[in-house]
Amino acid sequence: MPLISAYNIQKTTSCDMAFVHSVKYLKTKEWVLRWNKKGSRPAPYFFTKVPSKVDKRIKSSAHAKFLEKLGAPISKGGSWDRCKKLGIVKYTTANRIV
């Protein structure tokens, strides 16, 4: 999907607004996905998959493997890269939620 569509979707969620707006300032293709618990908040869980009729882009094998381990169903069709590694960054938030 176009970046503006992803940005508009994120604006309607409860995610940290700093991360919603950071996409406008970052010069790389980085997105934040919280996949583990945060303070007393439980880990997020997979809710649903949004189907797409467009399947033109090469998909990330490393991201698919990671999401599959979290319980997300992965479609096997289309074009896939051969990447095996996924970078994960651990950081503390300004809010220090306990």
> What is the per-residue pLDDT for 91?
67
Per this entry, what is the length of the chain?
98
Please name every residue paired with 80 in a beta bridge, in sequence order, or none if there are none.
59
> What is the per-residue pLDDT for 61?
92
11-52 pLDDT per residue, tens? 888 777 777 887 777 766 666 677 888 778 888 888 887 777
65-84 pLDDT per residue, tens? 998 988 888 888 888 999 99
CA distance 45 to 47: 6
Rounded to 5 degrees, φ, ψ at 54 are -100, 125
What are the residue ranges spanned by the domains of the chain?
1-32, 33-98
Q: pTM (2 decimals)?
A: 0.62
Please name every residue paired with 59 in a beta bridge, in sequence order, or none if there are none.
80
CA distance 37 to 64: 20
